[in-house]
Amino acid sequence: MLFVYPFITDYYLILGYTVVWAVISEAFRPANLSLISKESEPAKRKTSFALNRLAINLGMSIGPVVGGILTTIDFKLLFYVDGLTSVAAGLFLMIARFDPHETLSIDRNLSLENSDAVSFEKKDEIVNRESSIKHPESILKDNFFLFFLLSLIPVNIVFFQHIGGLPIYIVRDLGYSGAVFGFLSAINTVIIIFVEVPLNNAMAHWDDRKALALGAILCGIGFGLMALWGNIYFIAFTIVIWTFGEMIFFPASTSFTSTISPENRRGEYMGYFQMTFSLALMIGPWLGTEILDLLGAQILWIFTFILSSISVIIFFFFKKKGKESHISAG
């Protein structure tokens, strides 16, 4: 569809075409997360989802640079090259040979060689837990999953202040240049590229709920601390804090979704999970900038801490809820 964009000149046709393109392109995400869940044994899923995020962040780092170069030559090249890379990815997935296996079956020999953190007994416990979960026919009747999705929205709204209230606060309110904000954003990206995968590998044996709570509270602390001081070095320090929260929270939330979803409907569950992320992306930047303009930066950053704390409280409630639903992560 990207190849067609350079030939569309009508504004409303562009809007309609973009809606169709967005639906098609976003359909990739649940399928992608489902495939990762299927190809990863339960004990390794957080690391696998961290690797997926690494690929995304590398793309987000390289893409704008390449895109900027292409637009200086010919803006149409942006769509042609982006279309070619998308087609290349699709062709690779069509011809790539994945070893077929069931999600819940674990190769004990491979596990013995590659996993010291999780014992066979622990893996059997995870397998039995996943295979014994009962799910209603309609996802809208799966109250626990809907409750989980609701708990994700507050902390996701907080996270998206990095493209909402944060850049306006740094450039407009504190008077720093856009280049300074770019440097601060690079701190986030560099940490993710070098730290996220080994961090999640080290935390592979953690209960997903504990990781969710830790990640959410670090996001809240990171953004909330900016209410205390506007020094640029202090802000860089807060970015490090919420970046660690991001690196822990997002792989854990995806891993938890894969754990509580039935294997034959995982794409559907992942679709709803991704929808909460998109909803927060739609609400978060707007809400943050509104609070910043109407109430000021200090209120905004205090509000982010409160929102994250709401998610943390709900995650701790999952322990009781999880046991009642026979999905305790052990």
Per-residue pLDDT of 156-196, as tens digits, reads 999 999 989 999 999 999 999 888 888 888 888 889 989 98
Domain ranges of the chain: 2-45+53-95, 147-318
Give the count of alpha carbons within 13 A of 316, CB side only: 8
Q: Look up the pTM and report it.
A: 0.75
Per the CB < 8 A criterion, the answer to whether 214 and 194 are in contact is no
With bands split at pLDDT 50, 70 and 90, how would you rate the model's confidence at 135?
Answer: low
CATH number of 147-318: 1.20.1250.20
Q: What's the DSSP call for residue 104? A: T
Q: 283-321 pLDDT, tens per residue? A: 999 999 999 999 999 999 999 999 999 999 988 887 544
Tokens of 239: 């970015």
The CA distances from residue 58 to 52, 188, 191, 240, 243, in Å, are 10, 12, 12, 18, 16
CA–CA separation, 209 and 178 (whole Å): 37
pLDDT of residue 108: 39
Nearest to 257 by CA among 243, 275, 237: 275
CA–CA separation, 20 and 34 (whole Å): 22
Could you give the 3-state DSSP secondary structure of residue 281?
A: helix
Across 242-263, b (16+ Cβ under 10 Å) vs e yields bbbbbbbbbbbbbbbbbbbbee
Q: 6, exposed or middle or buried, with CB in 10 Å at 0-12, 13-18, 19+?
A: middle
With bands split at pLDDT 50, 70 and 90, how would you rate the model's confidence at 99?
Answer: low
Tokens of 113: 């060689």
Q: 2-25 pLDDT, tens per residue? A: 999 999 999 999 999 999 998 898
Higher per-residue pLDDT: 183 or 243: 243
Q: 24-77 pLDDT, tens per residue? A: 988 888 888 888 888 888 878 888 888 888 888 888 878 887 888 888 889 899
CA–CA separation, 257 and 277 (whole Å): 13
The CA distances from residue 30 to 137, 214, 219, 302, in Å, are 19, 25, 25, 33
pLDDT of residue 323: 44
First to last CA, the chain: 46
Q: How many whole angstroms from its chain centre is CA 35?
A: 16
Could you give the 3-state DSSP secondary structure of residue 85?
A: helix
Higher per-residue pLDDT: 92 or 127: 92
pLDDT of residue 57: 82
Unique residue bearing structure tokens 């809820």: 321
54-68, 140-154, 202-216, 284-298: segment of lowest average pLDDT: 54-68
